[in-house]
């Protein structure tokens, strides 16, 4: 992960692969399931051209409250 919650596509794919290798069978209510759901949704948004990709943290107008 990079600054301000940004991640490269390569690192996102690597994180998804690592999560699936570490936890290939999760239940609907498991802790790992929510992480896998987040990764799936992020990859799905990119595959469906929902414009989640930004050139870098400076180009994003969102300021995280965390």
Q: What is the pLDDT of residues 51-65, one digit of tens each?
A: 666 666 666 565 666
% of the chain residues with pLDDT over 90: 8
Task: Note whether 57 and 2 are within 8 A (CB).
Answer: yes
Burial 16-45 (b: 16+ CB within 10 A, else e): beebeeeeeebeeeeeeeebbeebeebbee
- Tens digits of residue pLDDT in 23-38: 888 776 666 888 888 8
Average pLDDT, the chain: 76
Q: What is the DSSP letter of 11?
A: H
- The pLDDT score that the predictor gives to residue 29 is 67
Q: Dig out the tokens for 53 from the structure.
A: 């990709």
């Amino acid at each position: 992960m990079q600054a301000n919650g940004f991640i490269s596509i390569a690192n996102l794919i690597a994180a998804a692969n690592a999560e699936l290798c570490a936890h290939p069978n999760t239940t609907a209510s498991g802790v790992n399931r929510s992480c896998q759901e987040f990764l799936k949704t992020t990859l799905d948004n990119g595959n469906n051209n929902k414009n989640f990709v930004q050139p870098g943290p400076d180009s994003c107008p969102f300021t995280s409250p965390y």
